[in-house]
Structures are given as C-alpha cells and as structure tokens.
Amino acid sequence: MPKKYPLEFKRQIVNLCQSGMPMSEAEKKFNVAISTLYRWLRESGPSAEGHTAVEYSTLLKQNNQSNYLLEIITLSQIIDGTPLRHRLEILAKLHEQFEQYSVHELCEALNVSRGTFYF
C-alpha cells in the first residue's frame, strides 16, 4: 500500500528541491523515494520563473557548468585565433596548476581535442 504524505510535507520538500537542494540529498534526508520526489515536482507545475522544477534543476546545472568553463577560459586568458600550440602549452600549465579541472573540461573550454592534448 502506498505511503501517504501530508500536503505541507510535500510542499516543503518541493520548495527545497526547487531552490537547489539535490534530489539525492532530499531523498536521504526525508526518506522519500527519488521517483516520488520527481512525481511531486512534476505535479507542482511551473515555478515562479515559468519552468517546472525538473527544467529549473536542469537549467541550474547547465548554468553551473557554463560558469565552470568560463572560469577555465578566464584563467587561461585565451582568445579565439590563438595558435593550437600555444593553447596546448597553456592547457598543460593549467592542468598542472589546477587539479580541480579535468582534462576533458580544460580541452572543452579551450577548444582542443583530448586526443591532441594527449598526443
């Protein structure tokens, strides 16, 4: 038999998830199945910005990824038209200096294929 949750409890969790709490964290903290959380978010309808909670969460992740890549580009001080050899040198320096950035992220940000970097 399905478990019944109070309406206020559902709203509280939906609001937390819409404000950025990861679904996995909400699942563990409130002991609610993640599939149930997604259903509640779908049923809650659009947020104040006109997006559903799942869309908002996806947009938030994409925004964070874009900011991350922008930070890499800013650190590298690369502009379009920089020769590949120079970009590879900078990529290698960034890879040595900043361990929090993966080779994949650095290559994506600097428009260098990973094969070229490893070669």
Please give the model's pTM, rounded to 2 decimal places: 0.41
Asked if residue 14 has pLDDT above 60, the reply is yes
Q: What's the chain's average pLDDT? A: 81
Give the C-alpha distances (Å, rounded to integers) separating 100 from 63, 64, 65, 81. Answer: 18, 15, 13, 26
Rounded Cα distance between 32 and 11, Å, is 13
Mean pLDDT of 58-69: 85
Q: Per residue in 40-60, pLDDT tens? A: 888 876 655 566 666 777 888
Does the pLDDT value for residue 88 go beyond 80?
yes
